[in-house]
Amino acid sequence: MRLQIIRLVAYLGNQMFNQIFNREGVFRRGAPQYPPPYDQNAQGRGAENGEPPPPGYGPPPPYDGPQGMPMPGYDAAGDQWMARPQGIPVCPPGLEYLCYIDQLLVKQQVEIFEIITGWETANRYKVQNSLGQQVYYASEESDTCARQCCGASRGFIIHITDNTGQEVIRVTREFKCGAGCPCFACDDSWAHVVQVEAPVGNIVGYVKQRQSCFRPYYIITDAEHQEVFSMTGPPCCYHGCTWDQDFVVNANDGHTQVGKVSKQWSGLLKEMFTDADNFGISFPVNLDVKLKAVMLGAVFLIDFMYYEKSQNSSSSNNRGSM
């Protein structure tokens, strides 16, 4: 019990420090520490003068609401949501948000109950664009016993919803006893695999672990299991490293980089006493939105395989880093 209290006090102290001195979690290096507020007029002026939109975000749709009323896109907690782009043909419902962006930030939420008790709870995440506007909300569905007994090896379903609460993406991993060792991941039966649906019921791709010796290796496929990209991680994947850990996404030639998934350093106390992680995703702005959704699904597979530490058993940490 004393250890849990220390964890809680350390976390709260870390939160107070961050509120005073900085704001963590900015994916693009060199960007302002506080993302600029949603300014419709400023966005419109850039478009009218022929200036490109801010990196990672396309022009928002016009606001036709009553003058003097607050802009739509704020929830009860005051979080600002990205406006849903309109008039995009041949786009799966709910993926319109991904059409004009080239970066996403996935921030796992800290669970106070888990810090205090050590009881593994279902994960929750916020998915934001480069301006700090929330694009999606993701929540884990898994068995309570599996969370306590199987730790990060558990099967799960990640429900990804938009600002209306509509589920637009679903990421699923089945539990496989003994799976995950990179030396034997030559077949799907012995490898961790996530299936991505967008919308629910329509499979758009898979992220599959593949056999490797020193670096984590994955392939990203389409719905027909045809390889589209490969993804290679760092030699050491460890929860608590004080640097960003990049999983580089390459084209089929194995050399042309098309994007990456980065596990970002979250601060000493947060890394030590919680398993709440921050991830950044970058991809070409003109990439098929279905593949963008699959790359988002890759974040959850990486998180569970390497950074989802168990509060009850330290032996389950950092599986498969070699």
- Each residue's pLDDT tens digit, 220-246: 999 999 999 999 999 876 655 667 889
Average pLDDT over residues 35-57: 40
Q: Record the pTM.
A: 0.72
What is the C-alpha end-to-end distance of the chain, expressed in Å? 34
Which backbone phi and psi does 124 adopt, to 5 degrees? -135, 145
Residue 74 has pLDDT above 90, yes or no: no
Q: What SS3 class is residue 287?
A: coil
Helix (H, G, I), strand (E, B) or coil at 159: strand
Give pLDDT, residue 241: 63
Q: Is the pLDDT of residue 30 over 50?
A: no
pLDDT, one tens digit per residue, over 84-117 is 888 788 898 899 999 999 999 999 988 888 778 8
Tell which residue, 267, 240, 270, 277, has the closest CA to residue 12.
270
DSSP states along 213-269: SSS-EEEEE-TT--EEEEEE--S---TT-SS-EEEEEE-TTSSSEEEEEEEEP--HH
Residue 289 φ/ψ, nearest 5 degrees: -60, -25
User: Of 310 and 174, which is predicted with more confidence?
Assistant: 174
Question: What is the per-residue pLDDT for 211?
Answer: 86
CA proximity to 173, closest of 196, 190, 158, 194: 194
What mean pLDDT do residues 250-277 have?
A: 77
DSSP character for 77? T
Stretch 196-210: mean pLDDT:
95
What was the pLDDT predicted at 284?
95
Q: By C-alpha distance, which of 210, 289, 290, 272 is closest to 10?
A: 272
* CA 148 vs CA 78, 122, 151, 194: distances in Å: 33, 11, 6, 21
Cα separation, 67 vs 82, in Å, equals 20
Residue 55 confidence (pLDDT) above 50: no
CA distance 212 to 271: 27
Confidence at residue 289, expressed as pLDDT on a 0 to 100 scale: 95
Whole-number mean pLDDT of the chain? Answer: 76
- Give the bridge partners for 139, in sequence order: 124, 159
> What token pair was written down for 160?
């990804």
Do strands 227-232 and 193-197 pair parallel, antiparallel, or not at all (unpaired)? unpaired
Q: pLDDT tens digits for 152-163?
A: 889 999 999 998
Which pLDDT score, from 0 to 100, does residue 141 have? 96
DSSP 199: S
Burial class (CB in 10 A: 0-12, 13-18, 19+), 50: exposed
